[in-house]
Amino acid sequence: MVTEVVTAQERMFDDFYRKLDATYYPLNNNIGWFRKFMEELELEVDHAIIQRQQEHTEEKKA
């Protein structure tokens, strides 16, 4: 009787962790991709701002 309860509990925890992993890892991968994308976008925006500032100062000098 006790063995059956323990086995059922182990199965329940295995199912729970399997479902948790199936949800967590894809979500974590998407968050990682999104973070990387945002960092790259931020670099592009910073580059564009610097470039426009340089163009603006060159126009004032001319």
pLDDT digits (tens, 9 = 90+) for 13-55: 999 999 999 999 999 999 999 999 999 999 999 999 999 999 9
Banded model confidence at residue 60, pLDDT cuts 50, 70, 90: confident
Q: What is the pTM of this model?
A: 0.63
Expressed as residue numbers, the domain containing 7 is: 1-62
User: Looking at residue 51, what is its pLDDT?
Assistant: 96
User: Looking at residue 61, what is its pLDDT?
Assistant: 78
Q: Looking at residue 16, what DSSP letter applies?
A: H
- Kindly list the distances between the CA atom of residue 17 and the CA atoms of 6, 25, 44, in Å, as whole numbers in the listed order: 16, 12, 40
- pLDDT of residue 62 exceeding 90, the answer is no
Q: How many domains does the chain have?
A: 1
Q: Looking at residue 49, what DSSP letter applies?
A: H
